[in-house]
Structure 1
Amino acid sequence: MSRDLSDFYRSLAADADGRPLGGPGELRRRADRRARVRAAGGVLAVALLVAGTATGTRLVLAADEGPVGPPAGPPAPTVTAPSPSPSPVTPSPSRADPSPVGSATATAPSGGTPSTSSAPRTPTSIPDRAFFTQPASTTAAPPVFRQGEDVLPDFCGADLDGRVVQTRSRVLTYHLTPNQPEATVPYGIYRNSITIHRSGRADDWMADLRRAVRECPEQETTPGRFDRHRLLPGGDLGDEAVLVEVREPAWEAGEPAEGEVLRLIRVIRIGDVVTVLWEMGWEGTSSDRAQVDDYSRRAERAISNWLD
């Protein structure tokens, strides 16, 4: 640049504001600086715009997702309540110790369903199958049915026939020892009877029988000779059972002899049916308890099967 042009710029600057103006090189540097500043400002504006857009996008997404809850803490421990201890059960008082007035008695429910058993039907006739079968090894002769004979001893004239509807009897002849020769004298005989009683009255008949035996402990059968009677435990047979012991003077060849013989009579009730096993001996023999018990069980089973 010429010297005249430089002088001209200095003169113009002095006239304009009293301050000196830079030369052309200075002006170019200033122009370049302003251009750089404008470029930097544009870049900054674009960066701010991009940052604002990203921030807005994050805010919108956060709003769509809903509020963020607090961080999850450690799981709360599970507390198990202790089971209550069982209350003590107060035993119910016995009949002899009644509960005091005002005291409450708790009744525990039954653990099971009570069983009900129906009573056997009351039959109208007595068939052959109602009687038991003797063991073949001890049978001395075939059974013989007989009617009109006494079912029981007299027992001092006690009336025990008022409640009987029907009776059927037979005679059994037996050996005490099995497999005896054919000509062997029997050990004894039974008078085995079955009676049907009016409905619901057989138990009354059993009570009358017990009373008749108790009220007749001794009975004169022949002049000067007496039978003695007593009740023994009847055993677990049927609905109820009675065992009567009869002790009578001994006989030998149809004549009185020294000593006495034992007779056993077993009476078993099942519903309205009663069976009697009266062991009568043979020529002075006495009843064998084990043999009487065996025949009694057989008689019970036969009647139970008949009534079922």
Structure 2
Amino acid sequence: MSRELNGFYRSLAEDTDPRGLASPDVVRRHADRRARTRAAVGVLALAALVGGTAVGTRFVLTAGPGTPVGPPAGPPVPPSVSPAPSDPASAPSVSSTPSALPSRTTPSASTSPPTGGGPSARTPTSIPDAAFFALAAANDTGAGAGFTDGPVLPRLCGAEPGGSGVLRQRVRAVPFKLATTPEGYVPDGLYRHSITIYRSGRADDALDEVRAAVQGCPEQKIGSVTSRQKLLPDGGYGDESVLFEMRKPFLDANDEPTGDEEVRLIRAIRIGDVVTVLWEQGWEGSSSPRSQVDADSRRAVQAIRTWWD
């Protein structure tokens, strides 16, 4: 062996010998300590894993079925707004008031009764015979009354007042005599008596039309003579009434004036939505007796009120 190699081995021995080797007990204690450290680190890692799993499970269970699990979404991006069309007519109109939805407690359709146009709660819908008045026994000719057709008012310069808004109408002819006229004589007059049911609110309009027609026709030609019309003061019949006269020269059998005048009285009376008219037409040229027309007008009103009751 060379001298350099022997010197190298000697230097190595000098470096390692003073340190010496650890005893078996020391080596065993170091090994046990390292094992305990590894076990503690493993337990801590397992605890951290279990805790993270529990937190994740709780987050998933508390989230709604439609809630995505994951990081929160970013702020919404506003949609792009297209420019409004230049032509306003081509743009669809959008209502600014939302339509109300019907609830279970509120009906979707209105249950209010329709108003206007139809009869009111007190307006009858038919006209029985009992609605017409009966003459007093002293005025009854025994000929009886008969129902007929035709106008309920005379023509006034072509006007036909009270013709609109009619629901029902009946007309009858009633001959009468004065209480002083003996039995068996010809009647002293003839009523054209009518009852008309109007739509609600139209009966008072009908009487206004009668007034206007009389005022607008002070004179008119009837055959070969001139008839003069005018309103007369009136009141105390029904809710309101209109009385007017038609006056013309009385003609003899040869159609020559006798110097006397023939006077016809016409009274229209309103009771609610009903109008009754007594148009006294005379008999063989006789004039209308005012007192008799007044008495029979009161009978006509009472008959209608009794019918309603």
After TM superposition, the score normalised by the length of structure 1 is: 0.58
Query: Given that residues 202 and 272 in structure 1 are in contact (C-alpha distance below 8 angstroms), is that contact kept between their aligned partners in structure 2?
Result: yes
Q: What residue in structure 1 maps to residue 241 of structure 2?
A: 241
Matched AA of 2:255: E
Match of 1:305, SS?
Answer: helix
Measured against aligned partners, the alpha-carbon deviations of 1:12-32 in whole angstroms (never above 9, x if no partner) come to: xxxxxxxxxxxxxxxxxxxxx
CA shift, 1:190, in A, is 0.7
SS at 2:141's partner residue? strand
SS of the equivalent of 1:242 reads strand
Distance 1:242 1:166 in 2: 21
Q: Deviations over 1:189-218 (max 9, x none)?
A: 111111111111100111011000000011
In structure 2, relative to structure 1, the CA distance for the partners of 1:280 and 1:120 (3 Å cut) is: farther
Alpha-carbon shift at residue 178 of structure 1 (Å): 4.3
Q: Greater CA radius of gyration, 1 or 2? A: 1
The alignment status of 1:290 with 2:291, answered yes or no, reads yes
AA matched with 1:293: D
> Does structure 1 retain, via aligned residues, the 8 Å contact 2:167–2:196?
yes
Q: Which digits, 9 at most, give the CA deviation of each residue in 1:15-73, with x for residues without a partner?
A: xxxxxxxxxxxxxxxxxxxxxxxxxxxxxxxxxxxxxxxxxxxxxxxxxxxxxxxxxxx
Residue of structure 2 equivalent to 1:162 = 164
Check conservation: 2:165, 2:198, Cα contact below 8 A: yes
8 Å contact from structure 1 (residues 251, 283) kept in 2: no
- The separation in 1 between residues aligned to 2:171 and 2:142, in whole angstroms, is 16
Alignment-derived partner of residue 302 in structure 1: 303
What is the match of residue 278 of structure 1? 279
Do structure 1's residue 250 and structure 2's residue 250 form an aligned pair?
yes
Q: Percent identity, aligned pairs only?
A: 50
What corresponds to 1:175 in structure 2?
177
Q: Does 1:267 align with 2:268?
A: yes
Instruction: Measure, in 2, the Cα distance between the counterparts of 1:254 and 1:146.
Output: 32
Q: How far 1:146 moved relative to its partner?
A: 2.9
CA separation of 1:236 and 1:214: change in aligned 2, threshold 3 A: same
SS at match of 2:143: strand
- Distance in 2, matches of 1:254 and 1:194, equals 37
Listed as ranges, the matches of 1:193-272 within 5 Å are: 193-223=194-224, 225-253=225-253, 255-258=255-258, 259-272=260-273
Could you list the structure 1 runs, at least 4 aligned residues long, displaced by more than 6 angstroms after superposition. Answer: none
Alpha-carbon distance in structure 2 between the residues aligned to 1:288 and 1:211:
25
- Is residue 239–residue 270 contact of structure 2 (8 Å, CA) maintained in 1? yes
Q: Structure 2: how far apart are the matches of 1:204 and 1:139?
A: 34
Number of residue equivalences: 188
Q: Deviations over 1:251-274 (max 9, x none)?
A: 333624322111111110000000
Q: By how many angstroms is 1:179 displaced?
A: 6.4
Mapped contact 1:250–1:261 kept (Cα < 8 A): yes
C-alpha contact 2:148 2:173 (8 A) present in aligned 1: no
Classify 1:178/1:260 alpha carbon distance in 2 versus 1 (closer, same or farther; 3 Å). Answer: closer
Normalised by the length of structure 2, the TM-score is: 0.58
Q: AA paired with 1:169? A: V
Matched to 1:221, the amino acid is: I
Counterpart for residue 193 of structure 2: 192
Q: CA RMSD in A?
A: 1.7
Task: Please list, as runs of the form range in 1=range in 2, the aligned pairs for 1:46-85 lying within 5 A after superposition.
Answer: none
SS at match of 2:294: helix
1:248 Cα offset (Å): 1.6
Give the Å deviation of 1:276.
0.4
Shift of 1:306: 1.0
1:252 counterpart letter in structure 2: D
Tell me, in whole angstroms, the C-alpha distance in 2 between the residues paired with 1:246 and 1:212. 13
CA displacement at 1:137 relative to structure 2: 1.8
**Structure 1 residues not aligned, in runs of 5+:** 1-118
